[in-house]
Structure 1
């Protein structure tokens, strides 16, 4: 009962598993379902495999490695009417489809990694064309350094990974339309706390979801920054003088209307 040389009759389950690189459990299962039964048994009932059994098992392992299911393997091995080349071609087509899907997944993962590290997957030229000449292409890197460990940065990166120039142009256009509407409302004398002003505050929250979900408390914090940060204030006041301070009052009033105290609001 040696497993050396060409004498393979009488191999145990463990010996066969070692030779083929499969598990003993798999061999037991193939026996139970009638796919590969050992031809011999010891007096104690233990399975013993012959050279013919081993050859069949080799073929099962090969077909399994190329992705055929057990029922299909049984047909290939036992049904003389089975078109073996046709079955293998069909399996090759399925493998090619899986490879394509995996390549797409790999490309998507690359974009996701890049978005988490860079924020915007746009060239400096694309950024200037979309966001305007006042846009600083260093801002995404600065934001990554400042906010990279926050939930909001992760949410922003996940949105960014799926966007190209056209999608970002739509985001920029929507924000520009909102800012024009804010300037027009201020110029028309719309009062903070009025229904129209509250609608504009909610419209701002909705537009901001292009970057990440914005709670009313977070919006209050943004309103403070729009007024106090020189760059933000210059941007809003460039649309209409005093817009940054007016918009903060709009946001604060809308927050109060929804039970949020602007004086104690935090980024949450």
Structure 2
């Protein structure tokens, strides 16, 4: 405690520096009658005595454990106040706040992991859900290639909220679409037909599990499915020529919506 006598008193600035509270807080406590300085200078400036400092110490101590000003006033001035009960209630609130913060931290960690590696699944879970042909390195390769894009960010946001059950549902939706595409090709469904257009829309809906897909982006995907050896092998493994057939039905659907497939871009 600073060396002072009640006759000397300390200024607001001195008390602020000593206690580590703002001058504004001290003025506010004075205005509401929580901690009023006992002295004034001839010019009207506040001066705090040793007794004032002791009260301020107590206020700061209770404020640091989270008690509100009304609660502090009751503890200091109400001789019937249940101080232990008030502190226990405050402890409960602190524990609840810690629990909320821990959940928030967990959510932040999941979001960081999802932005860094996509699906939050173990290698074993990925194999069980996506099949043994799935390469667990693919998400990392995709992040390296697309990590700065809006689509990857949306993919990461969705991935952060998904567990194995949700990913299983996505995988089943994709497998169901692949079967439907193969069956439609077997049935000689023509590009531009209502059935083909429904499959194109279904593809967009299923793909939204990763990120929203515009029609122009879908055209670009169709071309990639046909040109990329890995994608072409996947679709042609379902039915020979399926990659090309899928590209044709997406092109036909795009034209019906006023999009020229030859000039479509990823947007």
Q: Is the TM value for this pair above 0.5? A: yes
Deviations 1:55-106 (A, max 9, x none): 1111111111111121222222222232111111111111111111111111
Return the offset for 1:6. Answer: 6.0
CA distance in 2, matches of 1:256, 1:57: 76
Deviation at 1:172, TM superposition (A): 0.5
Q: Which residue does 1:5 correspond to in 2?
A: 3
1:15 paired residue number: 14
- TM-score norm. by structure 1 comes to 0.95
Alignment correspondent of 2:188: 189
Q: Could you state the TM-score of these two structures normalised by the residue count of structure 2? A: 0.95
- Distance, in Å, in 2 between the alignment partners of 1:199 and 1:78 is 75
Structure 1 gaps, min length 5: none
**Distance apart, 1:124 and its partner CA:** 1.6
Deviations for 1:14-50, whole angstroms, at most 9, x for unmatched residues? 1111111001111011111221111111111100111
Q: Provide the residue aligned with 2:166 in structure 1.
A: 167
Distance apart, 1:216 and its partner CA = 0.8
Unaligned stretches of 5+ in structure 2? none
Match of 1:254 in 2: 253
The Cα shift of 1:169 comes to: 0.8
Moved more, 101-110 or 71-80: 71-80
Query: Structure 1 116/138 Cα, relative in aligned 2: closer, same or farther at 3 Å?
Result: same
Q: What is the rounded CA distance, in whole Å, between the counterparts of 2:187 and 2:33 in structure 1? A: 84
Contact 2:4-2:49 at 8 Å conserved across structures: no
Q: How many corresponding residue pairs? A: 266
Q: Mapping of 1:1-268 within 5 angstroms?
A: 4-5=2-3, 7=5, 10-268=9-267
Task: Deviation per CA, 1:119-166: give whole Å up to 9, x if none.
Answer: 222222211111111111111111111111111111111111122211
Equivalent-residue separation in structure 2 for 1:56 and 1:194 (angstroms)? 83
Q: Secondary structure at the match of 2:190?
A: coil
In structure 1, how many angstroms separate the alpha carbons of the residues matched to 2:201 and 2:67?
Answer: 55
CA RMSD of aligned residues (A): 1.5
Shift of 1:189: 2.1
